Homo-oligomer: A and B are copies of this chain.
Amino acid sequence: MVKEIQEVLPFMSYGGDYNPEQWSEDVWLEDARQMKNAGVNLVSVGIFSWAVLERQEDEFDFGWLDKVMDILHQHGVGVCLATATASTPAWFTKKYPDSVAVDKKGVPYSFGSRQHYSPSSPSYRKGISKLVRKLAERYQNHPALKMWHVNNEYGCHLSECYSEHSLRAFHDWLKEKYTNIEGLNEGWGTNFWSQRYNNWEEIDFPANQVTFYNPGQMLDYKRFMNDKIFELYKIEKAILRAITPDIPIFTNFMYQFKPLNYFEWAKEMDLVTWDSYPDPREGIPVSHAFHHDLMRSLKKGQPFFLMEQVSSHVNWRDINLTKKSGVMRLWSYSTIARGGDGIMFFQWRQGRAGAEKFHGAMIPHSNREDSRVYKEVSQLGNELKKLDSLVGTKIDAKVAIVFDWENWWAVELEGKPHNDLDYLSRVETYYKALYALNIAVDFVQPKDDLSSYEIVIAPMLYIIDEAEVANFETFVKDGGTLVVSFFSGIADKNDRIHLGGYPALLRNLLGLYVDEFVPYEHGKEQLFRSNIDTYSCSMWTDMIRLKGAEAIASYDSDWIKDTPAVTEHTYGDGKAYYVGTEPESRWVKEFVSQLAANKAVVPPLTVPVNVEVTKRSGNSGEHLIFINHNENDSEIKLGEGNSYTNLVTNEVISQNFSLKGNDVAVLLLSTN
């Protein structure tokens, strides 16, 4: 049986992607020495090594990798061994032209960058199976092997394929889903625009069409592509699990990555890992904190790894700003604060050639150990050694935000009343308020058990089904506080309207109906007033008609003046709120704050503004983690009666302490 991560890696993991095949053998020993010096204890090896592992079909060359594995092991560095399937070699694409993905115009992609394989290609599937089996068989007993790193950033550049193989696979997928063609016709509403199908073979891709797409077809295509790519992962996993049943397996996820439903994927991961590259222009990277919380939530609170970050600057933005001194450390602690047990970089040694040579690394081009970058990398690596007690500890959240990939896909299909709704931004509206309040938050799916939460917030839950509605009803009936935002409850899982008045199945729970949508253009604002103050809102308003709910805020201008903007409905032992517009952030913060107060949901500690504080607890004790995003020192008031050790400085702290600007603290509660 697969081992727990904390069993395999019973410490804060630290390291990065390591691509020794780009360097001559004499550099490898230098690498290992510098890794050790920098506190590195884990690296990912071989992510893009297919071409040098299988140089021609069936000509395998593992000699170099054997040496690398041995050297790393000798220096105490563990290995996430990559399966090397992230990009097919040139010989493979020429020998198996069907392995190459095809664009929307029917043109196959060229070889020469990466990830050009078609997720539906039988030859690609055959090719990776052979390679993965060889790797697993060879390294199954190597002492350096800690985990399997499957492929890399699935779908990163290519999450849509329009090849003949993909079309046949799409037909099969639809057949599997709808059983008979009438089911598909009903599901896609093909009596619209004369789109009725008589058989599966008549179905084209939703690509190169003359005008608006069929939304049902588009939504199914997104599901289909997610499934096809997910199959690739599962093919590799099955082989690896069979040969090395106790080695954890994962692939690395990405930031704001819409094509893949990571909640589904996480079920097949032994560890959630993701790659985070906040743009320094963002200032405090709240949206990355959002993703840390999301990643932790994918496997119900189990610690995750930051699999890639950059020491200095990336090279794939238009302009690639450099993280100032200290920022890399600060943002690394954001991972730890939100449940991360590993901090990894892309990559170990900055490349000499190729498309990513200007992407920062732990060792810069100069190879200077007195470089700013290497010094900061080493400092952090050695500092993390003091934090092993955090490993395996968890965060206890009483607030959940509903996050649902299917809604992300559906809301952003064309042809909506407002076509810039931007699912993520609407979720962030609520997340940012909770972040600013330092209230811990989990992300959940609409069907998840909600009983452990006091407050659940469901922003723009556009598609919904009866079971999900029942889940929310149970939650509220049992005393929970539910917040639902505008454009929720509108459509079914085929993106067909729930008839009878918006928000259809949610009307009973919310105690209202929406007569019509009144979207606003960019730059136009509406006013609404609560019993406290008047606020602005934008983007969208609903014409709400009350059927049991009460208005707790109403519009204050335009032709919908005096109709309800926000409503409260007592339902069973709980309360269901409906927010029919996009309010300014000041209101959201006040609103969320009031709901939390009503349910006695509190932050770990009340701290100055722009200081993050989180609590991680477990067998090793209770930790308070502080990150000061201010340039200046902040005074932290711990209150009376407890004593802590700051693991970073080894200082003992009781009551109050001053946290330096851009500094961090990890306080372990003394248990005397």
Contacts and interface: CB of A to CB of B under 8 A. Distances in A.
Interface residues of A, number: 121
A91 B203 CA distance: 10
Given A210-B101, A365-B499, A417-B315, A202 B372 contact: no
B209 A116 contact: yes
Contacts of A586: none
Interface stretch (A445-453, A513-521, A621-629): A513-521
Interface stretch (A185-193, A463-471, A546-554): A185-193
B115 A201 contact: no
Contact of A515 (B21, B113, B211, B366): B366
Nearest to A357: B497
Interface string A110-136: 111111100000000000000000000
B194 A521 contact: no
A506 to B, nearest CB: 14
Contacts of A521: 281, 319, 321
A269 to B, nearest CB: 24
Contacts of A315: 415-417
Contact of A107 (B93, B208, B312, B319): B208
Contacts of A116: 209-210
Contacts of A101: 210
A60 to B, nearest CB: 14
A89 B194 contact: yes
B320 A110 contact: no
A636 B255 CA distance: 63
A354 B215 contact: yes
Contacts of A357: 189, 215, 415, 496-497
Contact of A495 (B88, B110, B353, B417): B353
- Name which of A191, A208, A356 has the most chain B CB atoms within 10 A of its CB: A191
Nearest to A494: B353
A564 interface: no
A362 to B, nearest CB: 13
A352 B502 CA distance: 12
A317 B417 CA distance: 8
Contacts of A19: 191-192
A192 B113 CA distance: 9
Interface in A233-279: none
A358 interface: yes
Nearest to A351: B192
Interface in A159-210: 188-198, 201-210
A111 B316 contact: no
Contacts of A558: 324
A555 to B, nearest CB: 13
Given A210-B116, A516-B372, A193 B48 contact: yes
A372 B518 CA distance: 12
A91 to B, nearest CB: 5
B189 A352 contact: yes
Contact of A193 (B55, B113, B194, B203): B113
A354 B202 contact: no
B355 A110 contact: no
Nearest to A101: B210
A414 to B, nearest CB: 8
Contacts of A500: 365-367
Contact of A364 (B105, B198, B371, B516): B516
- Per DSSP, chain A at the interface is loop
Contact of A192 (B89, B209, B281, B353): B353
Given A418-B320, A499-B352, A87 B197 contact: no
Contacts of A356: 192, 212, 415
A310 to B, nearest CB: 12
A522 B196 contact: no
Interface string A506-530: 0000000101111111100000000
Interface in A310-362: 312-313, 315-322, 324-325, 350-358
Contact of A519 (B157, B189, B313, B353): B313
A211 B322 contact: no
A194 B151 CA distance: 12
A198 B371 contact: no
Contact of A516 (B115, B354, B371): B371
Contact of A216 (B353, B367, B502): B353
Contacts of A367: 499-501
Contact of A518 (B195, B196, B322, B368): B322
A415 B543 contact: no
A417 to B, nearest CB: 5
Nearest to A216: B353
A452 B276 CA distance: 54
A366 to B, nearest CB: 4
A51 interface: yes
A326 B1 CA distance: 70
A531 to B, nearest CB: 27
Interface in A411-448: 414-420
Contact of A196 (B84, B89, B372): B89
Contacts of A639: none
Contact of A194 (B51, B196, B213, B214): B51
Contacts of A650: none
9 contacts: A22-B189, A22-B192, A50-B194, A110-B204, A112-B206, A189-B357, A212-B356, A371-B516, A373-B516
Interface pairs A-B: 6 shortest CB-CB: A189-B353, A192-B354, A366-B501, A212-B355, A110-B204, A51-B196
